[in-house]
Amino acid sequence: MDNKQFDVMFSGVIGQEYETLKLICPLAAKMSRFVGESIAEFAKTHSDKTLSVLELGGGTGITTLSILSSSESIKVVSVDSEPTMQSQAKQNLQQWVEQGRLTFDGRDALSVLSNTASASVDIMASAYTLHNFLDIYRAEVITEIYRVLKPGGKFINGDRYGLDDLTAHTRTIQNEVAGYFKALIEVNKLDVLQHWIVHLFSDESENHVMRESFSLQQLEQAGFKEIGLTNRCEVNALVTAIK
């Protein structure tokens, strides 16, 4: 699916949420598409069965829709402990719930994973969720992700992966902040600007930031193979791995 088709489909289903995301964080919309494309590739080689996907941090459903659109053989459990956002996703994606392809879980990620059977999930997918976790909590989540994936199952995460070169990383963040100001002042959304600047301080704190080399080593230590980082856009990238 090309960018134009993707935008048309998402604007039609999710509407304002998707348009707002493209305005304030255009690369996040790209990463949602990359997550769906990665799942589509995986599904092509597993076309003989229905694939189970556990999505961490479904939010308002933007990445969830990308996942559902990737293949008709996909069934998704979308996890998000923020009820307001998940309520929007339920409204946006009702037709997939009615089709029996989508269910929701309102618990936090680690609670859901801890109560999921070992080797029971084909794909673990997320976008812009893991970087919000404290590093200690994230480490537990990654260990649990490995446990619940089936052998040959795939981990797919579109997220903020910090550059190892700290000077280059800082320069990139400065450009990102400048982009927030440019986009949001033009449309007089100073309250949204304030929210994103405050949130960015959390993202860049030492107990949150996911530095690239460390993050990939963490997956390897958990037991993953075929670990790769692709589609880097500034501090954003797609990371995949196989159990």
pTM of the predicted protein model: 0.89
The values of phi and psi at residue 188, to 5°, are 55, 45
Domain that holds residue 104: 3-163+211-242
Residue 9's pLDDT is 42
Distance, in Å, from the CA atom of 61 to the CA atom of 93, rounded to the nearest integer, reads: 7
CATH of the domain at 104: 3.40.50.150
**Residue 65 domain-assigned?**
yes
**Residue 124 domain-assigned?**
yes
Question: In sequence order, which ranges of the chain are alpha helices (DSSP H)?
Answer: 3-13, 16-24, 26-44, 62-70, 83-92, 94-98, 109-114, 135-148, 166-186, 190-203, 212-222
65 close to 88: Cβ distance less than 8 angstroms: no
**Residue 104 domain-assigned?**
yes
Q: Is the pLDDT of residue 19 over 60?
A: no
Q: Write the CA distances from 113 to 37, 121, 184, integer angstroms.
A: 24, 10, 37
**Residue 171 domain-assigned?**
no
pLDDT tens for each residue of 211-233:
999 999 999 999 999 999 999 99
**Residue 121 domain-assigned?**
yes
Q: Is the pLDDT of residue 7 over 70?
A: no
**Residue 233 domain-assigned?**
yes
Distance, in Å, from the CA atom of 186 to the CA atom of 183, rounded to the nearest integer, reads: 6
Encoded tokens for 195: 């929210």
pLDDT tens for each residue of 154-166:
999 999 999 999 9
**Residue 232 domain-assigned?**
yes
**Residue 198 domain-assigned?**
no
Residue 112's pLDDT is 97
Q: Is the pLDDT of residue 149 over 50?
A: yes
Q: Is the pLDDT of residue 47 over 50?
A: yes
- Tally of domains in the chain: 1
Residue 6's pLDDT is 40
